[in-house]
Structure 1
C-alpha cells in the first residue's frame, strides 16, 4: 500500500530539509621555501678550492717574478741580495749589454727565433688545417687507418725523432741550415688531429654541399668557405706550434753548429755554459731569458681575441 502525497509532505516537514552541499574547499598551497643559504661545508669547500688555486697561481708566477727581479740587478747584487729582493734597477743597462755583447749576436738569435717560429707556425698550422679538413670533407680508401697513423705519431716523443731527422738532413746535405731546423716543424700530427676535431664541430656538411651546388671548386671551397669557419682552430694550432718551435732547444742543438743560426734558446744555453769562465755573463743570461719570454706573452695576448671569438661563425641558421 503506497503512501499518499499528503503523508509524504508531512514526513518531509517533520524531518526537515536534507544537508546542503558543502562549498568547494580552497586548494592549499605549500608555503614558499626560503632561499637556502650556503652551508658551512659548502663555504669551507669553496675556500679550500680558492686557496688551492691561489697556491698554484703563486707557484706558477714565482719563477717569473724571480726572473723580473733578477734582471734588475747587476752581477754584485745578483749574489749579495735575496732572490726576491729588488736590485739597483739596472734593467736598462743590462738590456744594453745584452744587445751589444759580441757585436749584438743576441739580436740575431732573437731574429732567428722569430723567423723560425712565425714562418714555421704559419706553415704548420695551414698544413694541419688542410689535412684535418681533408679527413673531414672527403672519403677515400683507408681513411681511418691513415688517421690512426697520424694519432700514432702523436705518441712518439719529439726527442726520439731527432737522430733520424739528423741523419736524413745529413744525407741531404742540409745540416746547419735554416731548413734543417724549420722543415721538421711543418709536420704536426697533433695539429692534424686538432684540425679534424674543429672541422667536425664547426664545419657542417650542409654548408659544403650548398657550396658545391653553387658551383664552387674544391680549392675555392676550402679557401673562401671552410677556412674562415676554421679560423679559431687555425689560431689554436698556431699558438701551440709557436710555443713548441720557440722552445725546441734539442732540435736546434742537434741540427745547428753555426752560432749565427742559433735560436735564442740555444744561444742562451751557450752563454750559460761559459758563466764559470766569464762571470759577467750571469746578468746577460738572466736578462736575455726575460727578453725571450716577451714574444710568447705578446703572441698569446695578441691572438687571444681571435682564439675565443668566432667559434660559432658560419653556423647554419
Structure 2
C-alpha cells in the first residue's frame, strides 16, 4: 500500500514539475500567435485571434530580413564552435587519460578550475585579447572562445579512461599509430560523450548573450540572442518589435528542439552504456 501511495506521490510531483517547466514554452507558443495589441491586452495563456503566419511574415521581412542573418550567424557560431570544442575536448580528454606525462594531474586540476570559472569574469580579458589581436567585432571574436570547453575535457577524460589498455597495446603491436588508434578505437568508445559535449556546447553558444555583447558592435554579426535583445530595446518606439521579439524567440527555440530530438537516442544509449560499464 505504501509503495502504491509513493508512486502516486512521485507521479503527481513530477507532473507538477513538468508543467512548471513547460509553462514558459506554452506561453511563448501562445504569445507568438498574437498581434501587438492582443499581446498586451489579452489573457497571457489563452489564444486570441491567432495570426502566427502573419507574424512570421513580418518577422522575416522586417529590417530587410536581418532576422535570417542573425539565425545564420547563430548557426555558424554554435555549429562550428560546438564541433570544434567537441573535437578539441576529445583529444585533450584522451591525452589526459591515456598519456603519461609530467604535470598531467596539475593540468587536469586547471581544467577543473575552468569548469567553475564564470564567463562574466572572462569577458573583459577576452575582449582585450581579441582587440590586441585585431579580431574584435568579427566572427572569430565569438568563435575562438567557443572552442574551449573545460566541461567537455573533463567528460572526455572520464570516457577515455574506460578505453581498455589491452586494446590500445594490441593496436600498437599491430603497427597502428597513435592518431589512428585515437580515430578508430577511442573515438568510437567516446562517441556518447562527444554527442553530449556537442549538444551542451551548441545550446550554450546558441543561448550565449554576454560574449557577443562584449565582442560585437556590427548588427550584421549579431547572433539571434543579441539581435532580439536589440529589438526589445526599441519596442517602446516601435510597438511591433514587441511582437517580433516574441515570435523570433519562438523560432529560435525550434533548432534546439530539433537538435535535442535528433541526438536523444545517441545520448540515451551513452547513458545506458555508462550505467553498466565496469
Report the counterpart of residue 150 of structure 2 in structure 1: 189
Do the aligned residues in 1 keep the contact of 2:33 with 2:52 (CA within 8 Å)? yes
1:228 offset after TM fit, Å? 1.6
Report the counterpart of residue 106 of structure 2 in structure 1: 145
Q: Distance in 1 between matches of 2:273 and 2:247?
A: 42
Higher gyration radius (CA): 1
Q: Distance in 2 between matches of 1:175 and 1:135?
A: 32
Where do residues 92-107 of structure 1 align in structure 2 (5 Å cutoff)? Answer: 92-107=53-68
Q: Distance in 2 between matches of 1:265 and 1:108?
A: 12
1:157 offset after TM fit, Å? 0.7
Query: Unpaired runs of 5+ in structure 1?
Result: 1-38
Select the residue among 223, 230, 250 that pairs with 1:290: 250
How many residue pairs get aligned? The number is: 275
Matched, 1:252 2:212: yes
Query: Unpaired runs of 5+ in structure 2?
Result: none
Scaled by the length of structure 2, what TM-score is found? 0.95
Q: Distance in 1 between matches of 2:267 and 2:3?
A: 34
Select the residue among 237, 240, 257 that pairs with 2:197: 237
Stretches of 4+ aligned residues off by more than 4 angstroms: 310-313
Report the counterpart of residue 163 of structure 1 in structure 2: 124
1:44 offset after TM fit, Å? 2.5
Report the counterpart of residue 233 of structure 2 in structure 1: 273
Select the residue among 88, 94, 98 that pairs with 2:49: 88
Which has the bigger relative contact order, CA under 8 A and spacing at least 6? Answer: 2
Q: Distance in 2 between matches of 1:166 and 1:312?
A: 41
Q: Distance in 2 between matches of 1:116 and 1:229?
A: 27
Matched, 1:128 2:89: yes
1:87 offset after TM fit, Å? 2.3
Q: Distance in 1 between matches of 2:182 and 2:273?
A: 18
1:42 offset after TM fit, Å? 2.7
Do the aligned residues in 2 keep the contact of 1:94 with 1:284 (CA within 8 Å)? yes
| Structure 1 vs Structure 2 CA RMSD | 1.6
Structure 1 residues 58 and 302 mapped into 2: Cα distance closer, same or farther (>3 Å)? same
Select the residue among 7, 13, 27 that pairs with 1:52: 13
Q: Distance in 2 between matches of 1:229 and 1:295?
A: 27
1:207 offset after TM fit, Å? 1.2
Where do residues 296-311 of structure 1 align in structure 2 (5 Å cutoff)? Answer: 296-309=256-269
Quick check: 157-166 or 71-80, which moved more? 71-80
Q: Distance in 2 between matches of 1:263 and 1:275?
A: 19
Do the aligned residues in 2 keep the contact of 1:70 with 1:87 (CA within 8 Å)? no
1:312 offset after TM fit, Å? 5.0
